[in-house]
Chains A and B, each alone.
Chain A
């Protein structure tokens, strides 16, 4: 009897690491009906080295700081045009030495200290999205002038335009760009995901809607192209071409793969939000979401983690991920630990 018990215990000890090998553990969850923990529309959430969480709310027009245990520390912001006011902050924020909020409504980037004191604001002339600050440069995704494609814009720390890069287009979009409604469809499907890594000094760019090949284009910080890596799709896939022609004529069944946000976990490892949707006519009948950990040297998927589609990852720092999670009426900002 004792031997049998010992064998069971031994089996658990041996196989436990296998079960624990891949997990997304909730570390801190912030969000309740309490006024300091209530969110309306989380536009950005970032994590600093000490575990503090900064949350930007585009409907509440505020930026809040919570400590590593998720306890409210401070809040700033209101709707307006003055210093510390926000107008349209749907495009989110990023963290470097300070916090940087892209306020498209006021055409500016607001620099805010980690103590939530406003330091300065920089005027930006181009309409852009997805702000990343790295050393003395800002990186943003913007639409290329006069066409459906997107590119990466580099500005200096005074908000002055420096240069653009990334002239690729999805392989399934060949020929002259169309006009009218088809142009708008091309624009939608030519969107980009971007991530910048301080360690490897690389800028990774990927098409949000990949075709047969799911590619990541790696560039140096000045925009020089370095290399391209291919990631294996978990299924045999090609982009459904009917989506580029208006009016849309949906077939009986189709699939769509899309990438959400992209983040560097460490030099050489990237995290991608990967959606796989199955449609019956124009209705999505099955939606699966995965977190892919990709080796940026080989393009191999090191780890594939299925996650709740209601989780949206907004920042990553090492193995810690920060995102928003919709749970009924309550929106929470959650810090996870990804173990793989």
Chain B
């Protein structure tokens, strides 16, 4: 009657869903998947909260007139930042 045997019964008791078929050593795979999902969530959260630069046609104006004056204080720092914006724009948008 008991065709599963003691090992089969143990396996059946620890079976918690079809995705567990992916596991090889108990719940290690599950932990890895959860850790991966958590990492992806953190990365998404970081990018969602960061100020994302606009596309190329708006980039130079945004960087020169908005980003640099807000993130630098003295005119020399603002100009240095704006020059970097221009160099980046030349390299990536032209």
Contacts and interface: CB of A to CB of B under 8 A. Distances in A.
Interface of A: 41, 43, 58, 79, 88, 90-91, 104-105, 127, 129, 141, 143, 180-181, 184-185, 187-188, 191, 248, 256, 258, 275, 277, 279, 284, 287, 309-310, 312, 326
B86 to A, nearest CB: 3
B73 A309 contact: yes
B12 interface: no
Contacts of B64: 184, 187-188, 191
Given A90-B66, A180-B90, A181-B86, A188 B49 contact: no
Interface of B: 48-49, 51-52, 54, 58, 60-62, 64-67, 70-71, 73-76, 79, 82-83, 85-87, 89-90, 94
B73 A312 contact: yes
Contacts of B62: 104, 127
Contacts of B67: 90
Contact of A256 (B52, B61, B75): B75
A79 B52 CA distance: 12
B74 A287 contact: yes
Contacts of B76: 256, 277, 279, 284, 287
Contacts of A143: 61, 65
A215 to B, nearest CB: 19
B70 A129 contact: no
Contacts, number: 72
Nearest to A88: B51
Given A104-B66, A127-B58, A188 B90 contact: no
Contact of B90 (A127, A181, A284): A181
A258 B61 CA distance: 19
21 contacts: A41-B71, A58-B70, A88-B66, A104-B62, A127-B54, A129-B66, A143-B61, A180-B94, A181-B86, A181-B87, A184-B60, A184-B86, A184-B89, A184-B90, A188-B86, A277-B74, A277-B75, A279-B76, A284-B76, A309-B74, A312-B73
B51 A188 contact: no
A275 B75 contact: yes
A90 B74 contact: no
A90 B70 contact: yes
Nearest to A192: B65
A79 B47 CA distance: 11
Nearest to A143: B61
B74 A129 contact: no
Contacts of B89: 184
Given A58-B70, A105-B51, A185 B75 contact: no
Contacts of A312: 73
Contacts of B87: 181
A90 B66 CA distance: 6
Contacts of A277: 74-76
